């Protein structure tokens, strides 16, 4: 597949779930958000999720989210797809955020499985379809049972794929058999939602990755995804192994947004690693473990 073809997917192929930078006082730093978005796109991302899990969506106010959507669209619109994290466990609230995201000019929306409520599969389907109906935006479904409490079954995803605006799936379920059924029976663009499983998923037909670790190693993830699309799995495998300690550093020891902000601070991309409660910054023991993993990947910070 030619490079010009792989960039034609609705949401791109390397999508970073972007952190939300804060000031030292805990306010959203919109200027730094625009700078980070531009850097990620310059380094190879063709999509960004704004106000997703890694963007600390649960502790952002609605007005902050809408402003973030507008700021990032202004910064990278036309160069990369901007996907708004609008989903929650409150259907009418998600509908309102979908409408606000559309007004802000985003390219699509990410809808997470309703969490805490533990709805039935019929409830999940009705929730997703109601939000998809509310705004003229293509939808990426986010299946993450470890956070949401319930998985979206293959049968439900196959039914959801019939909706004209539901075009993609971010799979963070790691159920290979279930998602194989989805890929075999729908036209959904499937994205790995687990950084370390990107290459296996792409070997089965996934189009790319929605990533946290790509904050830290954007160009390597870009090269691996491009190699996989070109059928060069030897090169993709080599990069996959090189990325393993980076993925461990960001995704294994502490919450992904916390780790990503810490490494971005070390890289000089962010001026601080501030997160909002109930998240807290890493302690010295956690920092040391992250440093050890990064050193294994050849990344050493003072």
Q: For 175-189, write each residue's pLDDT tens digit.
A: 999 999 999 999 999
Nearest Cα neighbor of 209 from 238, 184, 240 is 240
Question: Catalytic residue at 191?
Answer: no
pLDDT digits (tens, 9 = 90+) for 9-62: 899 999 999 999 999 999 999 999 999 999 999 999 999 999 999 999 999 999
- Of the listed ranges 6-20, 203-217, 246-260, the least confidently predicted one is 6-20
State the catalytic residue, choosing from 65, 142, 173, 191: 142
Cβ(43)–Cβ(79) below 8 Å: no
pLDDT for 7: 40
Distance (Å) of CA 132 to CA 60, 193, 283, 301: 22, 21, 41, 44
Structure tokens at 134: 């509310």
Cβ(135)–Cβ(96) below 8 Å: no
Residue 221: partners with Cβ closer than 8 Å, 6 or more residues away:
14, 44, 198, 209, 211, 213, 214, 243
- Stretch 208-227: mean pLDDT: 98
d(CA 299, CA 167): 37
d(CA 30, CA 185): 41
- Stretch 140-149: mean pLDDT: 96
Which position has the higher pLDDT, 45 or 8?
Answer: 45
pLDDT for 2: 35
| Residue 136: pLDDT over 80 | yes
Q: What is the DSSP string of 110-169?
A: EEEPPPSS---HHHHHHHHHHHHHHSS--EEEEE-HHHHSSPPPHHHHHHHTTSTTEEEE
Structure tokens at 232: 């060069």
d(CA 244, CA 297): 8
| Residue 3: pLDDT over 80 | no
pLDDT for 302: 64
State the catalytic residue, choosing from 32, 170, 173, 261: 170
pLDDT interval class at 266 (50, 70, 90): very high
Cα–Cα–Cα angle for 124, 255, 173, rounded to 5 degrees = 35
Question: Catalytic residue at 170?
Answer: yes
d(CA 103, CA 107): 11
Structure tokens at 71: 């700021």
pLDDT for 224: 98
Phi/psi of residue 85, each to 5°?
A: -80, 95
| Residue 1: pLDDT over 90 | no
pLDDT digits (tens, 9 = 90+) for 85-104: 999 999 999 999 999 999 99
Distance (Å) of CA 127 to CA 14, 139, 269, 281: 27, 13, 37, 34
Cβ(191)–Cβ(210) below 8 Å: yes
pLDDT for 4: 38
pLDDT for 8: 58
d(CA 100, CA 86): 9
pTM for the whole structure: 0.95
Distance (Å) of CA 67 to CA 1, 44, 104, 274: 37, 24, 8, 19
């Amino acid at each position: 597949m030619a490079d010009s073809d792989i960039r034609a997917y609705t949401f791109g192929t390397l999508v970073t779930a972007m952190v939300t930078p804060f000031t030292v006082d805990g306010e959203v730093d919109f200027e730094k958000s625009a700078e980070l978005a531009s850097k990620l796109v310059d380094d190879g991302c063709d999509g960004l999720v704004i106000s997703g899990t890694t963007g600390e969506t649960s502790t952002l106010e609605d007005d902050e989210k809408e402003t973030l959507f507008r700021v990032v669209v202004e910064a990278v619109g036309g160069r990369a797809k901007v996907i708004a994290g609008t989903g929650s466990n409150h259907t009418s609230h998600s509908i309102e955020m979908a409408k606000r995201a559309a007004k802000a000019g985003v390219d699509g929306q990410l809808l997470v499985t309703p969490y805490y409520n533990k709805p039935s599969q019929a409830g999940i389907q009705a929730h997703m379809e109601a939000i998809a109906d509310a705004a003229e935006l293509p939808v990426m479904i986010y299946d993450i049972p470890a956070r949401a409490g319930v998985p979206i079954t293959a049968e439900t995803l196959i039914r959801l794929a019939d909706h004209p605006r539901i075009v993609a799936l971010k799979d963070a379920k790691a159920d290979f058999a279930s998602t194989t059924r989805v890929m075999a029976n729908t036209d959904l663009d499937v994205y790995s939602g687990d950084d370390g499983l990107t290459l296996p998923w792409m070997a089965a037909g996934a189009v790319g990755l929605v990533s946290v670790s790509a904050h830290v190693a954007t160009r390597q993830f870009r090269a691996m995804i491009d190699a996989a699309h070109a059928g060069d799995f030897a090169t993709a495998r080599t990069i996959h192994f090189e990325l393993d300690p980076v993925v461990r550093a960001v995704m294994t020891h502490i919450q992904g947004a916390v780790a990503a902000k810490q490494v971005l601070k070390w890289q000089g991309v962010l001026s601080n690693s501030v997160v909002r409660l109930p998240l807290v910054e890493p302690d010295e023991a956690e920092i040391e473990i992250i440093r050890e993993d990064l050193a294994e990947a050849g990344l050493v910070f003072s």
